[in-house]
Structure 1
Amino acid sequence: MNHIRPSPPPASRRYPAAALTASVTLALLELSPPWAAGPARVELHNAVGHLARYLASLFTPAPSLLRAGSDRATMAYELFLSGQSLLMAAFILMLWWRIRPGARRNSAAEYSLLATQLLIAVVLDTLAFHLILAMQLAALLPLRRALAWLAVQILLGVVMDAWVLANASLHLNDSRAGTILALLTSERCVLLLGFALARMVRQEQRSRTRLAASNAELRATQSLLADTVRASERMRIARDLHDAVGHHLTALNLHLDLAVRQSAGQPATALGTARELSQSLLAEVRGVVSAERQESGIKVRQALQLLCAGIPSPAIELAMDSRVDACPPAAAHTLLCCVQEAVTNAVRHAHATLLTIDIQGDSQGLVGRIADNGKGNGGAQEGNGLAGMRERLAEHGGQLRIGGSGSGGDSGGSGGAWAAGGAGDSGGAVGAGGAGGSGGTRSVLHGFRLEFSLPLAGARA
């Protein structure tokens, strides 16, 4: 099996690492001022602070003429720091879970985590965590859904700010309250800016991935085209040698044979030598023609490796049987187009992190099994790309079967349902089980799956 991954770290790993590092750094910066202020000067204006003061009032005596209330202030301070730390740690943990490589998007569990993160950001009421959440929305969700969540976030933030100002109004004069309100309003503008920047980064990353995929497809097509032209030129030269030079040498041999017979049984030495040389030359020409015909194969294996190696994301596992090298030019072009379409779907639509491609031989020709761990087709109508793949395969007498995440169904073609067997068995179906047989790929448990058959003339088991 050829395990193909891009040599530099993919962006799908760099961006999560950067997000987690920034989140931890911002959490430490948020905790530093109250920790440095101490119980006497810390401001407990947000929801965590109010809850900390309330809990401290339940377990410590109220201030009196004999007690200054330092115990209550200390407990409220400790509860506040502990609550802030726990909420920030929970927020960062859920952030890691949502952006980790291989995480599934748009599931109910993921939206539950997102709602919890939103509540934590509102309770903490800090610009840093509101900004992290806004950028997370832009980076992970579709645009309309992300804007809806951002609107809810801003609305809840405004409600929390109004509640905090209402509770703190007894300790603030009008000018200071107006200043704080202006600062809080500017924070919402920062959220919009962070959202826009994260969206730009997401679009830039996707554009780079699509450009790399297009470049890989171009290189693979160029490689296959060069092999096709080279094979066509070799076949032309072989035919010319056979039809022209071979024909003249055959005629020369016939004339030399006739000359030998006409020499009354006593051929000259030079005439016999010429006859032997012409026969030897004819045999060499036939050998060259046969060799050129045998070496005119298409290097479709190299084209597929170029295609997969040029994709930065998702990671691709490619397994190919040795019978792939026996593809004639037309079948090789169809095979490359099928794999290109599957890779394009994984890059542009599935948002997958792993794509497995397994091409094995059977008694009829080749059987390909392709699967990813993306979001699946969701029962969507078959697009032009898959329709074109089906038409190309049909021209060679092949078939295409399509399945999605949890569908277990069959979209066209004949044969059994999706199995749970290994992908390495040339006669099996695409499944969720471990890869079996020689050259099997790692199993993909969910996402989009397809299987195609490509008959080859003269194929053997």
Structure 2
Amino acid sequence: MPHVSSSFSVKYLDTSSRRFFSQLISPLKPHLALVCGLFACIIFGGFEFFELFFTAPAQANLHTPAGFFCQWWVREILSNWIVLDTDAARIEWQYFCYLSYSAALSLLFTALLWLRNQHRAFRSDGLFAVQLVLAVLSMSALLLVLAAQFAAFLPFRRALRFLVLLMLVYSGVHLFYVFNNPVLAGAHWKIGVFYLVAQLLLYCICFALALAVKRYFKQCAQLKIAYAELQATQIMLSDTVRITERTRIARDLHDILGHQLTALNLHLDLAVRHSAAAGTDLNMASNVESNTESNTESNAESNIESNIESSTPSLDRRLQQALQVSRELAHDLLAEVRTVVSSEKNDKEINLQQALSILCASIPQPKITLQFDESKTPVPMHIAHCIFYCVQEAITNVIRHADAKTMQITLKQYEHMLNIQIQDDGQGCDILQPNHGLQGMRERLQLCNGTLSLKHASKQGFCLELQIPFDVALKGLPT
């Protein structure tokens, strides 16, 4: 019994800990790359700062370009404002300036990393160049973070050029420091070169890791988009199959039951006419026979014959009434079959809102907002397919080219017009080069007598407006 209780406690603690960590980490999953980058900035920048902070001013290593600049600043500029009589005071101020520079550099890298992730304006090459110069001046370990940022925020070729520039600048400064140091330039220059090669390898490793993570997240996003498109297409396909199957059943119902009911109506009409004619002839014959009968017959026989003759027209009338009722029922049934067939053939509406909602809900980036008017008139099948394709192509273009954070899709129905607006907050462009996607959208809209208009400007996003005449769309509804 104690063994059972202990194993149950272990399983309970394991399940509870997993649930706790999953709830703690799940909100950070969309921002995992940003969190790792900020953590790296804090680790590398904080380590350098606190290592310098807990070092005595006289023992601090200021043999970097930034350290030399601090020495010049204190000796030439600050000494004119503050009286610095001793070397110890000058060393303390040099140390304080260098420590402030190290703290400011760490804060700058952390802030720019966050801003780059949130705003495209901070991904300019100029800011990367400024960071490169400032970090090289202090030979900071934050250059590792900068190499990773090249791979994360820049296209591959530009990122590779910046990485080569970083390695060249760092190598030049490092070798200048090694061969101008009397201690290292003599017998220990090999150690400095080995340290340089190791540092360059670390830059390449950080660059490769960031590039691999970037491609992994890109592939995950593409997989989610493909899954969303598959789900939405499945909804459209299921509606299309449902409509096709209902149309086939309606056609078979019309061909089989309609033909049989029409034949039944013809036969019932013929039977009613024959029964009416037979009843008239029988009444005439009975009247003639009753007039020519002998008056000498017995009273009993005349009574029997008169009862038989009087009952025969009554039977014919009941038969005629039954045939008439049957004919009316068959006629009504045929009319109802035709009504059902017409309604089934004309029911060609596709659940466009559900398909687009599934498509947009699974897109991780950008965040898509979908707005629908309350359905005033059902959207025909071929119009729904056209709208779905255009929206899907617009989302694909935004993901590939716009680098947008949000996207707005609005579908409105007017009296004689369908209006679809697709707008994003991406980088936009001044001069548009139409691709195959936009050309395909125009061709599909032309088949529905629709139009496509574009609005775009650099740094102001992209806007598509689709207009389809609704009355024409209804007239073009396939039967």
Q: Please tell me the TM-score bracket, short chain as reference.
A: 0.7 to 0.9
Q: Say if 2:464 is the partner of 1:450.
A: yes
SS in 2 for 1:400: strand
Q: Say if 2:277 is the partner of 1:259.
A: no
What CA distance in whole angstroms lies between the structure 2 residues aligned with 1:139 and 1:130? 14
What CA distance in whole angstroms lies between the structure 1 residues aligned with 2:417 and 2:229? 24
Partner of 1:50: 68
1:31-180 to 2 correspondences below 5 Å: 31-57=49-75, 58=79, 59=82, 61=84, 63=86, 69-100=87-118, 102-104=119-121, 110-126=124-140, 128-165=141-178, 169-170=181-182, 172=184, 174-180=186-192
* Code of the aligned partner of 2:237: L
* Code of the aligned partner of 2:135: A
What CA distance in whole angstroms lies between the structure 2 residues aligned with 1:296 and 1:393? 19
What CA distance in whole angstroms lies between the structure 2 residues aligned with 1:81 and 1:56? 14
What CA distance in whole angstroms lies between the structure 1 residues aligned with 2:28 and 2:215? 15
What CA distance in whole angstroms lies between the structure 2 residues aligned with 1:36 and 1:224? 66
What CA distance in whole angstroms lies between the structure 2 residues aligned with 1:450 and 1:273? 63
* Code of the aligned partner of 1:205: F
Deviation at 1:134, TM superposition (A): 1.0
C-alpha distance 104-369 of structure 1, shift in aligned 2 (>3 A): farther
What CA distance in whole angstroms lies between the structure 1 residues aligned with 2:250 and 2:121? 55
What CA distance in whole angstroms lies between the structure 2 residues aligned with 1:61 and 1:322? 78
C-alpha deviations, 1:126-159, integer Å up to 9, x for none? Answer: 2x21111111111111222222222222222123
Partner of 1:196: 208
Q: Say if 2:404 is the partner of 1:352.
A: yes
What CA distance in whole angstroms lies between the structure 2 residues aligned with 1:122 and 1:197? 22
Q: Say if 2:394 is the partner of 1:342.
A: yes
SS in 2 for 1:267: helix
Conservation of the 8 A alpha-carbon contact between 2:179 and 2:185: no
C-alpha deviations, 1:60-101, integer Å up to 9, x for none? Answer: 6455xxxxx43333333222211210122122212222222x
Deviation at 1:277, TM superposition (A): 4.5
- Structure 1 residue runs of 5 or longer lacking an equivalent are 1-7, 64-68, 407-444
Deviation at 1:361, TM superposition (A): 1.6
Conservation of the 8 A alpha-carbon contact between 1:10 and 1:313: no
Conservation of the 8 A alpha-carbon contact between 2:184 and 2:192: no
Partner of 2:230: 218
Partner of 2:350: 298
* Code of the aligned partner of 2:264: L
C-alpha deviations, 1:370-405, integer Å up to 9, x for none? Answer: 122222245242111111111111111111122322
Conservation of the 8 A alpha-carbon contact between 2:386 and 2:444: yes
What CA distance in whole angstroms lies between the structure 1 residues aligned with 2:386 and 2:340? 30
C-alpha distance 154-305 of structure 1, shift in aligned 2 (>3 A): same
Match for residue 372 of structure 2 among 290, 303, 320 = 320
C-alpha distance 387-296 of structure 1, shift in aligned 2 (>3 A): closer
What CA distance in whole angstroms lies between the structure 2 residues aligned with 1:342 and 1:18? 32
Q: Report percent identity of matched pairs.
A: 37
Stretch deviating more after TM superposition (38-47 or 134-143): 38-47
Partner of 2:303: none
What CA distance in whole angstroms lies between the structure 2 residues aligned with 1:60 and 1:45? 25
Normalising by structure 2, we get a TM-score of 0.76
C-alpha distance 204-378 of structure 1, shift in aligned 2 (>3 A): farther
* Code of the aligned partner of 2:317: Q
Match for residue 228 of structure 1 among 219, 240, 247 = 240
SS in 1 for 2:371: strand
Q: Say if 2:250 is the partner of 1:238.
A: yes
Conservation of the 8 A alpha-carbon contact between 1:242 and 1:285: yes
What CA distance in whole angstroms lies between the structure 2 residues aligned with 1:354 and 1:12? 15
* Code of the aligned partner of 1:330: H
SS in 2 for 1:370: strand
Deviation at 1:276, TM superposition (A): 5.5
C-alpha deviations, 1:411-442, integer Å up to 9, x for none? Answer: xxxxxxxxxxxxxxxxxxxxxxxxxxxxxxxx
Stretch deviating more after TM superposition (221-230 or 252-261): 252-261
Q: Say if 2:385 is the partner of 1:368.
A: no
Conservation of the 8 A alpha-carbon contact between 2:449 and 2:472: no
C-alpha deviations, 1:303-325, integer Å up to 9, x for none? Answer: 21121122221111111234487
* Code of the aligned partner of 2:98: F
SS in 1 for 2:411: strand
Partner of 2:330: 278
Higher relative contact order structure (alpha carbons within 8 Å, sequence separation ≥ 6)? 1
What CA distance in whole angstroms lies between the structure 2 residues aligned with 1:447 and 1:9? 28
Q: Which has the higher helix share?
A: 2
Normalising by structure 1, we get a TM-score of 0.79
C-alpha distance 104-292 of structure 1, shift in aligned 2 (>3 A): farther
Partner of 2:362: 310
SS in 2 for 1:366: strand
* Code of the aligned partner of 2:65: A
Deviation at 1:362, TM superposition (A): 2.5
Max radius of gyration: which structure?
A: 2
**Number of residue equivalences:** 404
**Cα root mean square deviation, aligned:** 2.8
C-alpha distance 171-78 of structure 1, shift in aligned 2 (>3 A): farther
